Structure formats: C-alpha cells, structure tokens
Amino acid sequence: MDADAARCRASSPTTASADRSLPNSRSRYPRWCSRSCSERGALSAAARQVALQDASADAARLLGRGEGAAAAARVVNVAVPAAHVSSSRSGDLVCVTATTEAMIGSLVRVPQRASSCALDGGL
C-alpha cells in the first residue's frame, strides 16, 4: 500500500471536523485523498490507452499476415478486456481500430480509441 492510500485509510470520520483540509464535517476523507484517487484513475486510463494502441498494432499485423478477424479481436481483448475491434482494408494496407471506455472515478467515462495499419500480405 502506498503512502497516500495509507493516509486515506488512516483518516477517521470521527476526526473529520478537526481537520482543516476537509470541506465539511460530513466528508470521510481529506481533499488530497480524492484528488489522489482521481489521479490514479487518469493514470490507469493512460495506461489502458497505451495497451489499446499496442494491441491494435499487433492485431493489424496479424491481419496483414493473413490471420482471421477472430485472432485479431482476441489479441485486443486479451490486452484490453471488453474492447470493440473493427478492421478495414484500403489498397495495400489493413487497418484495425479498437475502442473502449475508461472510468475515472465513479462518474466520468472517457472514450478511448486506437488505430493502427500494417501492410496487407506482409510477413
């Protein structure tokens, strides 16, 4: 457990009125705790975006080598569960687009999208 999480758990609702960093006496945790938790959500969303981009590149290469759409979707869903995958061909390229939503906190949904192309018929 990191230091911020330990401080969040150590905060007690009974001492809330004595803590000047709290907005009111009904708050369970200090302001910095909720900010830290939302920062973790943003970092998680950023990490998921990187994984989505990497998986869409892998899926495009698989399709370019002649693998099926199911194999490409499987690669993306292993990296980012519940992601939706679509593919298209244009000339010598095969492109994959993967989409999902990230939750930041309990109310904010952030749509995420990653696209990547590879040479069709490549090795």
Boundaries of domain holding 85: 45-119
pLDDT tens digit sequence for 56-79 = 999 999 999 999 999 999 999 999
Confirm whether 113 is domain-assigned: yes
How many domains are there within the chain? 1
Greater pLDDT, 85 or 10: 85
Confirm whether 34 is domain-assigned: no
Own/partner long-range contacts of 15-21 (Cβ < 8 Å, ≥24 apart): none
Confirm whether 9 is domain-assigned: no
Pick from 5-9, 36-40, 88-92, 102-106: least confident? 5-9
Confirm whether 93 is domain-assigned: yes
pLDDT tens digit sequence for 18-57 = 444 444 444 444 454 445 555 678 888 899 999 999 999 9
Greater pLDDT, 37 or 92: 92
